[in-house]
Amino acid sequence: MTFINHMIPGHEAEGSGTPVYNPATGEQTATVASGGKAEVDAAVAAALKAFPDWAAAPPQKRARVMMKYVQLLQDNAAEIAKRISAEHGKTHDDALGEVQRGLEVVEFATGIASHLKGDFTRDVGPGIDSFNQRAPLGVCAGITPFNFPAMVPLWMFPVALACGNTFVLKPSERDPSAAMYVAELAIEAGVPEGALTVVHGGKDAVDALLTHPDVQAVSFVGSTPIAEYVYSTGTAHGKRVQALGGAKNHMVVMPDADMDQAADALMGAGYGSAGERCMAVSVAVPVGEETADKLVEKLAPRVRSLKIGPSTDSDAEMGPLVTKQHRDKVSGYIDKGVSEGADLVVDGRGFSLQGYENGYFIGGTLFDRVTPEMTIYKEEIFGPVLSVLRAASFEEAVTLINKHEYGNGTAIFTRDGDAARTFTDRIEVGMVGVNVPIPVPVAYHSFGGWKRSIFGSHGIYGPEGVHFYTKLKTVTSRWPTGIKEGAAFNFPTM
């Protein structure tokens, strides 16, 4: 059985740790090392040692490493996707899409020289010039989730490294192989020894990173309770923190929308990756009873006919959930929806796949006539469960979304430009789609929600990522001119 070690120069773990499973079969396929304070100390020490030389390297040199890294990711995309699917369960095509969206952030990092350019002003005063520059922070850390085991690490460390920082990655112990592989490829691309390290483990490792005096910044993606803990603990120890949390993403369907297009969008956004996406649409909000009836009529047969299977099945549209515990949790949410009075249109409980009876599968589930008081509406389920909450008007739909504690992503489907423009202006959500169900920004923009979907003032990757991983330094200079002015005790002005 495979043993997945830390990636720390000179450090070898013993062969005991946390089991890793194939969610399609329920079989243990590997053991991942379980680290704590000692391993974090070793990883940070290696990163700290590598920092001065890496930070002093010209930005274009670091950019060339990222260029080589892009090529290696492209050449090995299928292998990365295979590792994602084997431990997470998502389909191969879905995993390939994950790799591509991560790779695009590395492409953004190849242009780091232009993103680090400062401003220069000559003669801000008599013979006085002023310029600014963005400087790296030092050792940064990333704590990444199970649902995107390659993409989210690629959203973090390439930008941090390109800015001149060094980086300690703590991936999810549920599916660590893909994160390890993309880190190994970064070293192959030319990231120097120690500049990128990987520590595996649970809360002990997380806490050690959050409290380590040599870690300057922490990036996190995961659930809101943990995001809040990471933010409060990290900032209390003087760190810069960006912590992206949970979501409850709504899609408003207006009466004039193309119902087939809306239904297809909801199928992909609600059931793709078995709903284990922070940008999954988990609530459909049709406006008007007639719109709702039409939408549910379109959705129900599509949900019933979902092709569910292991990632090795090229026809599968949805795979298993990541663990047995998570499958049981999602099933419990369905129980709760029924007990609280929602109309269960399609029931995914009890789904079994011949030959994969021990896998962590659950069928697509569709609820209608959900209300804002219900648990399945208020909480993030993170599974293939779509709730239809009917709104009487556009105004009611907007108010409903704005009242929710999460503000990650939302969408509206309509042919009415005025409705779309009003929606984008008034909605209190960080990422908005118009006839786009999962509005994940491209790599040269930045990703981030509002309200309790994010803690910290910076989004992830793109320009926000550059600002998060650097600090501003402004220099004001004057060279001797032979003019003797004497001491000045008043506050300086120009």
Please, is 355 exposed, middle or buried when counting C-beta atoms within 10 Å of its C-beta (0-12, 13-18, 19+)? exposed
How far apart are alpha carbons 342 and 357 in whole angstroms?
A: 29
**Which amino acid does the sequence have at 405?**
E
Classify 363 as helix, strand or coil. Answer: coil
* 278 catalytic per annotation: yes
C-alpha 315: how far from chain center: 27
Sequential DSSP letters for 383-449: SSEEEE--BSSHHHHHHHHHHSSEESEEEEE-S-HHHHHHHHHH---SEEEES-SS-PPPTTS-B--
The residue written with tokens 């979907």 in the block is 453
How long, in residues, is the chain?
494
Do the Cβ atoms of 396 and 303 come closer than 8 Å?
A: no
φ/ψ bin of 263: left (φ > 0), alpha (ψ from -120 to 50), beta (otherwise) = alpha
CB-based contacts of 100: which residues, under 8 Å, 6+ apart?
77
C-alpha 353: how far from chain center: 30
How far apart are alpha carbons 241 and 247 in whole angstroms?
A: 19
- Per DSSP, helices labelled H in 213-323 are 224-236, 259-271, 289-304
151, 156, 278, 285: the catalytic one is 278
Give phi and psi for 90, each to the nearest 5.
-70, 155
CB-based contacts of 346: which residues, under 8 Å, 6+ apart?
300, 303, 304, 363, 364, 365, 366
Please, is 486 exposed, middle or buried when counting C-beta atoms within 10 Å of its C-beta (0-12, 13-18, 19+)? exposed
Q: Active-site residue numbers? A: 278
